Chain A
């Protein structure tokens, strides 16, 4: 492929200046699309089909007005508002469209955000990190071509999703899911997707590691989610600081407001910042030149556990800070839940004193969500040993006197400790902020215990990863099923009243839902025992198999 295309394309495009910096963009776009010819359609298919299938099930599941009102009432709780969003039609006047906007919108918005971040990082910083960008940029490829091409490709993916969704939803003709609303629904996805693409465009300029760049962008996504929740639960303006909030404030299918999408200018500004930053750095490096380090290793580093700790340090600290902030954010709105409960139609006819149990239910749901987020840390941590193996870095280490069991065991030990750290951070942050905002000191203990009760579920997640690593190493990515399934179950379970056994398949389904439920030790002991067996099995398998060498 080829320089000649690049040259002729560049020549077609106007001024000499643009020709220089954007030369080769078209070629790169085609190249990136070709690389992602499976990846992008899969993302698009999953997101669009999920939306359309939920849309298709409204009439079947909630056929009568009574049923619709009933579910709207169930969903009109602080926990659901924090997790998903607001039903702008209100319980009495609820429609399928309003439920779509409350229950479905947020999840696919987050999905396009994740997709946009991953795709953008994959085509920019990850390419530089692998030294492939250098190879390509040695051809007739302008300074801004890479970033422009990557943004174009992400834009194509987002536009595709928005368009298919709008057309699909409009064409299905479900009552109140009308064409004007459907166009807005699709457009919301494009705006949110591009906003996070722009965020990632900035973070890839800052750090020289693709993992770090993606991590920072996901941090922004997490913050956006927390801000949206804080705004909605606290009934304040915080949600306007979040791209997710802009989309949800369109009040799609209820008021169909287009103007909140004008905030897309923020994304344009961010992209401009990204272009500017990219001119201030070299290919392959970050904004700051990498500093020299210590020429000798510290005593702490040169043991398998110290070494594993070092490899996991960044992830553990970064994630720990993120969940602590999330805990503070959620905790600080726990008190507002009381006020919210009084405002919500659903609770109007309830007796005084029910507010207390609403807060507890809210706290319990939030704890489950945060525990699931902590399980993402576990999954990421357990990809590390696999990454070490496939990159060839494990090979020299395993040729030393560090046994395989000690090597993998150290990664496992760090993840075990790390999962406790995550839940402790949640326990302290959410417990303290929650107890403070509600104004009940004794709530701290119950919230904190509730958070720590998830420790065995996280350990079980580690166990699954280790077992895969030992016996089916290529399948380690399947550990992702645990957090994804857990989120689907608690969220769609509320919407469609899943049978219990679906919930029981997830390790998180067995943890006592404190503070609503009482603490029960038995399920936790069982989860711990299963985790221990899986870990032992995985370590054994890893001793028996060939190392995957580069």
Chain B
């Protein structure tokens, strides 16, 4: 497999704020890669470095075998970008904006442009100022998806889209994947990521803290188990990898680390299992663990402070 995006040790500072702190990111060609993390974690900053809009302080970034800063123009013919907060020109219509961005990129697939406008139910003849938030977002999405490009870089593309449009968006991303395109998708919508993404990277305070397929990540984290046994189970506390054990009228409830699940189930069979439900952590639980850690760690104070400062300047 070839690599579409390869980032190692990326650092980007804005004055006092260290937005990226040695970030590593690896996206294979043809995969849909989810990019998750709390507000202010550095997702948009990473994406802007990948687009050559910001220059990194140190570290290496390779996009489609090129350097995003020096080869920007050549690379931009092969990729399309949707920002999280689309601003349109007040006196240009949505259709004009779609064409403008598409043509400047190197061309649009007319048939797909029509299809996208139809499926997303966008009126392309309205002036930019009169579009609602969701419709502004659609303009950028349509322009990006209608371009025949290898790489789609999407920064919270569907913020503000209604649920119906969300499913349309997901259809098109699947189609893009089937066509062999690579997608980097930053998102706060976990269901979307869960449905679309082959791989996920979780970023926190400018660093990628976890990266892999959802299955791998689940394996690395705890599974919740609820079990009812014929005889009262005992000795579970001593087993390795068991957490948050609770007993309630003959039922047991606990969480267990992925690699110790096997041993725990063996132990349980001795007491005669009557009913057993287990569920792997949802992405939400995975995320909350990471986001929650952040709050507990000393980082929270520092982070909030730096974010407050940046908030004033914007």
Contacts and interface: CB of A to CB of B under 8 A. Distances in A.
Task: Determine which residue in A311, A392, A395, A544 has the highest number of CB atoms from chain B within 10 A of its CB, and name it.
Answer: A395
Given A292-B126, A546-B55, 5 more contacts: A291-B127, A396-B83, A396-B140, A399-B51, A402-B73
Nearest to A293: B93
B88 A393 contact: yes
Contacts of A291: 127
Q: Is the contact region of chain A dominated by helix, strand, or loop, or is it mixed?
A: loop
Interface stretch (B25-33, B103-111, B188-196): B103-111
Given A393-B88, A403-B72, A550-B87, A295 B95 contact: yes
A450 B215 CA distance: 77
B124 A547 contact: no
B86 interface: yes
Given A294-B96, A391-B87, A549 B53 contact: yes
A541 interface: no
Q: Is the contact region of chain B dominated by helix, strand, or loop, or is it mixed?
A: mixed
A395 B87 CA distance: 9
Task: Determine which residue in A291, A296, A400, A544 has the highest number of CB atoms from chain B within 10 A of its CB, and name it.
Answer: A400
Contact of A294 (B95, B140, B314): B95
Interface in A292-317: 292-297, 301-304, 307, 310-311, 314
B207 interface: no
Contact of B92 (A310, A396, A399): A310
B120 interface: no
Contacts of A293: 92-93, 95-96, 125-127
Contacts of A360: none
A547 B47 CA distance: 13
Q: How large is the interface on B (under 10, 10 to 19, 20 to 34, 35 or more residues)?
A: 35 or more
B223 to A, nearest CB: 41
A273 interface: no
Contacts of B67: none
Contacts of B127: 290-293
B48 A292 contact: no
A195 to B, nearest CB: 29
A289 to B, nearest CB: 9
Given A392-B85, A401-B106, A550 B125 contact: no
Contacts of B79: 399
B89 interface: yes
A401 B80 CA distance: 10
Contacts of B103: 297, 302-303
B96 A399 contact: no
A291 B72 CA distance: 37
By Cβ-Cβ distance, the 9 closest A-B pairs, closest first, are A297-B99, A302-B103, A295-B95, A400-B104, A293-B93, A295-B124, A399-B81, A297-B96, A400-B105
A547 B53 contact: yes
Given A292-B126, A293-B127, A401-B104, A393 B73 contact: no
B7 interface: no
A277 interface: no
Given A296-B99, A401-B104, A549-B54, A396 B81 contact: yes
Given A297-B95, A401-B77, A307 B100 contact: yes
A192 B2 CA distance: 70
Given A294-B95, A398-B53, A546-B55, A302 B126 contact: no
A546 B73 CA distance: 16
A392 B89 CA distance: 10
A546 B53 contact: yes
A61 to B, nearest CB: 46
Given A292-B125, A401-B104, A546-B54, A311 B89 contact: yes
A547 B77 contact: no
B282 interface: no
Q: How large is the interface on A (under 10, 10 to 19, 20 to 34, 35 or more residues)?
A: 35 or more
A398 B83 CA distance: 12
A296 B83 contact: no
A297 B125 CA distance: 10
A393 B126 contact: no
Contacts of A403: 72-73
A183 interface: no
A361 B255 CA distance: 93
B76 interface: yes
Contacts of A393: 87-89
A209 interface: yes
Interface string A363-387: 0000000000000000000000000
A222 to B, nearest CB: 23
B129 interface: yes
B130 interface: yes
A307 to B, nearest CB: 6
A399 B52 CA distance: 8
B101 interface: yes
A397 B129 contact: no
Contacts of B51: 398-399
Nearest to A392: B87
A400 B54 contact: no
A291 B91 CA distance: 10
B101 A397 contact: yes
A22 to B, nearest CB: 29
B83 A392 contact: yes
Given A301-B99, A302-B99, A550 B85 contact: yes
A301 B81 CA distance: 20
A338 interface: no
24 contacts: A209-B90, A290-B130, A293-B93, A293-B96, A296-B124, A301-B96, A301-B99, A391-B87, A393-B87, A396-B83, A396-B101, A397-B101, A399-B53, A400-B76, A400-B101, A401-B74, A401-B106, A402-B76, A402-B104, A403-B72, A546-B53, A546-B54, A547-B54, A550-B314
A76 interface: no
Interface string A389-421: 001110111111111100000000000000000
A402 B140 CA distance: 16
A208 interface: yes
A317 to B, nearest CB: 13
Interface in B109-134: 123-127, 129-130
B50 to A, nearest CB: 10
Interface string A304-341: 10010011001000000000000000000000000000
A302 B100 contact: yes
A250 B123 CA distance: 57
Given A403-B73, A546-B53, A290 B129 contact: yes
A294 B125 contact: yes
A12 to B, nearest CB: 37
Contacts of A295: 93-95, 124-125
Interface string B230-246: 00000000000000000
Contacts of A404: 72
B85 to A, nearest CB: 6
A209 B88 CA distance: 14
Contacts of B93: 292-295
Contacts of A391: 87
